[in-house]
Amino acid sequence: MRVLHLSDLHLGSRGDEVGGPGLEELIERTSPELIVVSGDLANRGRREQIEQATARLRSLGPKVVAVPGNHDLPYSFPGRFSHPWREFERQWATTEPIHRSEQLLVVGLNSARPWRQQSGKLRRASLERTARLLADTPPEVFRLVFLHHHLACAPWRARKRPLSGRRNVLRRLAEGGVDLVASGHIHQSSTIERHEFDVGAGLRPLIFATAPGFGRPRPRRQGEAHGLQLYGFDEGEISVETYIWHEGELRLTGARRFPR
């Protein structure tokens, strides 16, 4: 079973290089059950930007679920505070979607906050709802949680701070038996499993995967990546594959496998 992870389209930005060749072939070859999109669909939270990004994502074929990022909030006042999610919800109905199938539970969390500019935080109610959903799910079902803000830091970028209160979030998600946490925001890819940084954790693996940018809002900037990730959930193993656009071609740049 495969899940495709796209993040940070930034539609409407100056760069406007969203996606690239080879994506349709990858989807056809791997037939993902679902596409998860971890925010920053728009560059400035404008209606037409969110509309265009949504149309683009829905044209790919598989079912798509999305959460907002900090760039999906209106930049203008008072809209940013009086109706922060209006345009996003117009397209997606909710900022915290759920997908369930026989083998997979996917929970989207909204970590963008109107009063924060860049950084992210989850609401307590979201975490509690997630804990209930996880508790009601049979143990053999794979659990994927996705949100815009990263929990593990970027490999090559220091400015963007990880999710606020991440230690508590990690604990709650680990208690619920989450297999993989997928995020974006930093436009760089990284994958790390809890045992690689946290001594004394339980036996179950908990993978933190951050996707490269699907868009390229600042095409001249170094220190960003342009690509996507693909997750595999198979009996006894979870895999993370990172694909990067390089010279007009979508290339597999790395793959990691984690026993479950």
* Residues forming the site for Fe ion (CB under 5 A): 8, 40, 69-70, 185
Q: Give the whole-angstrom CA distance, residue 38 versus residue 183.
A: 6
Nearer to Fe ion (CB atom), residue 32 or residue 69: 69
Min CB(43)–Fe ion separation in Å = 9
Question: Largest alpha-carbon pair distance within the chain?
Answer: 50
For residues 73 and 106, which CB has a smaller minimum distance to Fe ion in the complex? Answer: 73
> Which residue number, 71 or 194, has a Cβ lying nearer to Fe ion?
71
Amino acid letter for position 187? H
* Nearest distance, CB of residue 171 and Fe ion, angstroms: 24
Sequence-separated (6 or more) residues with CB below 8 Å from residue 138:
none
Report the alpha-carbon distance of residue 238 to residue 198 in Å, rounded. 19
Least spacing, CB of residue 102 vs Fe ion, in Å: 33
Distances (CA, A) of 100 to 28, 33, 38, 97, 104: 22, 11, 18, 10, 6
Q: How far is the CB of 199 from Fe ion (least distance, A)?
A: 31
> Which CB, 155 or 232, lies closer to Fe ion?
155
Residue written as token pair 């053999």: 140
